[in-house]
Chains A and B, each alone.
Chain A
Amino acid sequence: MESVVDIVLLSFLCITVVAIVYIRKLFCAIMLLGIFSLLSASLFVTMDAVDVAFTEAAVGTGISSILLLSALALTHTREQRPPHQPYIALLVVVVTGAVLIYGTMDLPRFGDPNSPIHRHVAVRYIADSPHEVGPPNIVTSVLASYRGYDTLGETVVIFTAGIALVGLLGFRRRQEFKVRLYQPMDKKTSYAENSTEDGDEFEDNIKLPGANHMVLRIVGKMFIPLILLFALYVQFHGDYGPGGGFQAGVIFASGIILYALIFDVETAMRVITPKGLRLLAVAGVFIYGGVGLVCMFLGGNFLDYNVLSAHPLHGQHLGIFLIELGVGINVFAIMVIMFYTFANRKRGSV
């Protein structure tokens, strides 16, 4: 039964990829990319990799679709035809693909207990992580404790991406921002009361996303707190179930982005200011690195949480809690910064 599910999901995956390659409308391509991520997330679930599936669903389907769409608002919505026939590119792709398929011949079969990956360090993780690190979710202990360096690297990569984007596109000048800030709010909401057939009135309203969507606003108000609450649950429950800093940061950010989409970016910027976000992004990385440094000052190795408390397990617990918090804050801040940066630029101003 499981193999049937696998075959169906994998064939859908292939169809989606072919469609993404062929389609020229970038909007459709972004939607298909979202579907692709959702299908891969389902595949991860069938492989029992729920943490990875959760990340894929939150990042691939959720936030990257929004970020790509807001990037699309700056460019053309159709992919341009290349000026020449891309035969060389096709050759390169075919050769690379053939090499990759040849490479899979040597890989061990899926789920083979004798494959190196199951005999190297995994044995120790499974056997010793409950009394070495503590959390019931082994993925969390591997990610945050055994492989703390790698996770620090990932956090810094996200941070760097955010810095690079802000450096390339930048925030809008503050002067312009202030002018829009103090516009009277009544005009935006007036559409619901006097829903006239008047074209001009409508034109005035259409500029503001979500201004005439009363239902959307109410549902947004109902659900955004719940989304933020769920993000906190994912953040602090990561030791026990699937979840952790990355997913929580992304979910929290998507709550804020939803707010920005429904109630206008300027309104969201008054709640979460760009300056505060930049501070938060730095603070996230700082918390992570700081925990490592504190460990060194207390006489351990970098990111060796055992020394953080009298009892090694408590130290591990505290260390994992703190670095997950750092990851969550950093990811949240960078994601919202990316959205703000894209949303603040007008079409064609790149």
Chain B
Amino acid sequence: MDLNIFGNILDILTALFLTAGCFLGISGGIGLYRLPDFFTRQHASGITDSACSFAILFALMLQSGFTMVTIKLFFILIFLIITSTTATHALAKTALFKGQKPLLGREDNH
């Protein structure tokens, strides 16, 4: 009985994290489409790269239990935590140094 409750809690947590991940992914997609300049779009895609995939991977880890799959997912998570944030950083930095100026305030002149 106790185990069953534990399983239910895991399922609920999984659902929560999956929903959060999906929400972040979709909002990242919308942001990529709607936001005005390079850096804000970068922010949107960065959310999809990082928070969204972390949440989904964490949910999958909750479901897979103490198996080899969890360990592999954990490695993927670590890999993504470092690489996708680095990729976002490198893109933004390159754009800044190549002369992309961030949009400050509303662009009313067109």
Contacts and interface: CB of A to CB of B under 8 A. Distances in A.
B64 interface: no
Interface in A204-235: 206, 212-213, 215-216, 219, 222-223, 226
B51 to A, nearest CB: 19
Contacts of A226: 79
Interface in A127-151: none
Contact of B83 (A206, A212, A213, A223): A223
A222 B98 CA distance: 26
A222 B82 contact: yes
A173 to B, nearest CB: 31
Query: Main SS of chain A's interface residues?
Result: helix
Interface of A: 202, 206, 212-213, 215-216, 219, 222-223, 226
B82 A213 contact: no
A264 to B, nearest CB: 16
B83 A219 contact: yes
Given A219-B82, A222-B82, A223-B82, A212 B89 contact: no
Interface residues of B, number: 10
Interface string B74-100: 000001001100100110011001100
A258 to B, nearest CB: 10
B97 A215 contact: no
A265 to B, nearest CB: 18
5 closest cross-chain pairs (CB), A and B: A219-B86, A216-B90, A215-B89, A213-B90, A219-B82
Nearest to A213: B90
B14 to A, nearest CB: 17
A223 B90 CA distance: 15
A206 B90 contact: no
Contacts of B79: 223, 226
